Structure 1
């Protein structure tokens, strides 16, 4: 093709037909430009298809990660609700010495909490680069809110941990309850007599009340995170069907 155009160009020049040559030259340039534009368009189309494929894979990975997180949250929420219900009954005077006779281990649940360890590696990676979910603003926003929920939970969880280490643990040591507490951790039997000295003590009641208050806030954060993750899943499914 190039030798063919070259012969035409030489022929026009030999006949001193400059005007025709210029028109021909412009036409040749135009053909080259059109060819380049077509090549670029094809390349962009291929890149778009490749990016779309990567994005679909990312959406699937995000969906799996969120489903796993929600499954873990369900267990944590259930456990924390049980703790909160138990401490509410204790603070209301419904959980008495007599009611503890069948299960004295309940006393140690009153000052504990359900910690969380969730994996959001893919979510954090994608939000930090916004490579494969770029343009999905609603999904990006919801995922950022979910991560913020998780960070807020971590802050409160740290407060709960510090409170247990600085207040509850020293109290159990002071009351010589660590041997009994260790039996509780090992799921060994505990007698009612083992916990009688702390059941109605004012300091222990205050410890339970403080833990109850923080657990209540913690449970709300757990449920909010689960709600935001559920909404993120809805957005992901909408993207998958587009």
Structure 2
């Protein structure tokens, strides 16, 4: 919490008038609650700092729970930047982001079920049971996990990582064609992005996004993500009406 407090008072309150802090879902991380607690002291302490720098206007800070994880956090972040560039007001941006977070869906395929289960179990997540992990590893069955509004659950089981990735890519392509709530699709991968781009179905998803004016943002999975879900995990996220996984 102190690190968040210091970052804002030493830099952000001097560089900006209004800041949105978009966090990983509070159900999977303490970052959101720490940011909320830090925001109280920041809003109490910022005035002398800004005054000393010659700023007499107020500073505003809002902490928003993305209600998602990994690439899912990127969807509201991109939307916030897009709305700011379009000249939208902070209240309109805030209301839109909070609504968008409720409709953001993140999907993940992890190659190592035993590693994934052991890590998420420590956080109280029961998306992958011991039996599922044992059988899945023995039979090379990979679950596709879904996160929305802070809750995670398996929505499909597919034999082989490549096949599971293809099914996820094709599902995402259908959602893109049906229409998203924001023109953004985010992907993250726990390895070189060239590996992800060679997975079956990837090209079809990119073609669907290009045809429907949806921007694609790809990133190497962050260190905390790699630690929690393992090397080689694939995540695809977007905001849309939820109609189940097909």
Is TM (by shorter chain) over 0.5?
no
Point out the structure with the larger strand share: 2
- Normalised by the size of structure 2, how large is the TM-score? 0.22
Bigger Rg, structure 1 or 2:
1
Higher relative contact order structure (alpha carbons within 8 Å, sequence separation ≥ 6): 1
Point out the structure with the larger helix share: 1
